[in-house]
Structures are given as C-alpha cells and as structure tokens.
Amino acid sequence: MTIRVLLADDQALLRATFRILIDSCDDMEVVAEATDGAEAVALARVHRPDLVLMDIRMPGTDGLAATSAICADPELSGTRVLILTTFEIDEYVAQALRAGASGFLGKDVTADALLDGIRTVAVGESLLSPLATRVLIARFLSGPAQGARPAASEGLGALTVREREVMAWVAEGHSNEEIGEKLFVSPLTVRTHVHRAMTKLGARDRAQLVVIAYQSGLVQASPAAER
C-alpha cells in the first residue's frame, strides 16, 4: 500500500525537499502541494490523501484552521494530519491536536524521523514525543480551551474498567508494549482496548484519546510536568 501525502507549506524550498525525500520511498508518494491552509483543504477534498503534512504558520488560512476543516469533514475521515512546526511546544500545536491532528514534528526533524512519522500517523497511531507531550499537556491540554466544546466526561461511562485503565496509560505517553508489560497482557490486547475506547468516544486516533483523557478529568497533569 502506498501512502499518499499532501504537502502544505508556504516555503517552496521546504516543499521541494520533502517531495524529493518522500518520493524516494517505495511506500509513499506526494500527490499534491499547497501553499496555504485554504489550498490544503481544497486539495485534500480533491485527492483524498492518507496524510497531510501541515505547516502550522502560513499566510492567509493557517494550518490550524485547515486542520480543523479537514478533520471535521466526514468525507476526509481517512485523512490524517501531521503538523510541522518550528516550535515544538506551542499553543497552536495544542489547538491543532484538539482539532484532530494526529501529532507533530519539529522542522529540524531528521529525514528518517520524518519518514517514520509519516508511516506511524498513516496507520492511525499518534506521533507525540514524550517530553513534548508532557509539557503540552501541562500547559494546554489539562483544561478546556476557551470557546472549545467541553469534553464529555460522562462519555467515559461507556468504557469498561480495563479500557479506562488503558486509556489512562496511553494519556501518560506509554506505548502498547509498555502498557502490556504493566498489565501483564499482550500488546495486541492493549491495541484492542485502545481501539474500542476510540470507537466509543469518537476519537480519530490516540492523539485525540489523549486530549479526551485530560479534558474529561480521567487523568490530570502532574505538577512535575509543568516545570
């Protein structure tokens, strides 16, 4: 299966670099390039890419607005958004995650890390570095955003005790393998619990599950994470 990627960045040189890198891989290809958020949304609706590599700061319609539009479009439910940002810890990144983005990478990312990140997000996993996630949660995700739809904590009642337990571990940044070791179950079993929780809560992926976990109060940011 070839991962179809849409590039959205206002810097032509950066887009060209990413295109050369991505097109050099047998398992992925660039299907279109956008110079701003509005064009990214329009091209996403035309090409239905598996993933949009989205710069967050662009003139006109920025990456945040574009991410919201793409993730809210039912016809683009199969399209994931991976945010590119110069600043790894940024309030706009938190807003993008709330809007449905599956993760983010710094623009100084290595070639291998970028390609691995695209593959990770394309299969429905989230891409949140542990350090960045802890700071992001402490600063922005542990409380509801101004003007945002509040997380439905009562929705957690639909989860089983084990699903809530697994969701809490996910929210703290643990992998399926790590959670499996803690709960003495296989990573496949953990993955099943994660996907059931996502389905019941209407989360697109693990990144949204993390947001819901904190905003619903299932997990709270520790004081240590805020420093």
- Give the pLDDT confidence of 136-164 residue by residue, as tens digits: 666 656 555 544 444 445 578 899 999 99
More reliable by pLDDT, 90 or 126:
126
Burial classification of residue 110, based on how many CB atoms lie within 10 Å of its CB (0-12 exposed, 13-18 middle, 19 or more buried): exposed
Q: What is the mean pLDDT of residues 201-207?
A: 82
Find the Cα–Cα–Cα–Cα dihedral 150, 153, 159, 161, rounded to 10°: 140
CATH T-level assignment (fold) for domain 141-226: Rossmann fold (3.40.50)
Q: Using CA atoms, how far apart are residues 89 and 87, in angstroms rounded to an integer?
A: 6
CATH T-level assignment (fold) for domain 3-127: Rossmann fold (3.40.50)
Residues of the chain with CATH 3.40.50.2300: 3-127, 141-226
pLDDT of residue 210: 82
pTM more than 0.85 = no
pLDDT of residue 150: 40
Q: What is the pLDDT of residues 47-99, one digit of tens each?
A: 999 999 999 889 899 999 999 999 999 999 899 999 887 765 556 767 777 78
